[in-house]
Amino acid sequence: MQKIVVFQQNGSGKSKIEGINKFGDKKFIIKTVDIDEPLPTVIDDTSQYLPDTIEADIVLDFLKHRDLSDDLSILCKKLDIPIIASGKKITTGDAICPPT
């Protein structure tokens, strides 16, 4: 089974997670990292929100805060984990950013 880690804010990835569970034919293990608290406009140090390491075959980024998405992309590049961040324009790391 493939391991997917979904990073989301305030349930922003809920419908995608439901779709993977419904149509994924039970081939995926999904772990979510939820960030539901109010965030400052600028986050200089994202370490209190993002883990030091991730164990996944792929990461899905549904975060709304640009600083979190940028640092998550860098972390995934460091860990050699592909990351999908649909509809975003991330220029750090190696995030795949298809249009929505």
Residue 68 lies in a domain: yes
Residue 89 lies in a domain: no
pLDDT of 20-79, one tens digit each?
A: 999 998 899 999 999 999 999 999 999 999 999 999 999 999 999 999 999 999 999 999
Neighbouring CB atoms inside 10 A of 92's CB total: 12
Domain range holding 27?
A: 2-84
Helices (H), the chain: 14-23, 66-79
The domain that holds 10 is classified in CATH as: 3.40.50.1860
What is the band of 90 on the pLDDT scale with cuts at 50, 70, 90?
Answer: confident
pLDDT at 88 over 90: no
Q: What is the pLDDT of residue 86?
A: 84
The domain tally of the chain equals 1
| CA–CA dist 59, 72 (Å, integer) | 9
pTM, 2 dp: 0.92
The C-alpha angle 76, 69, 89, rounded to 5 degrees, equals: 105
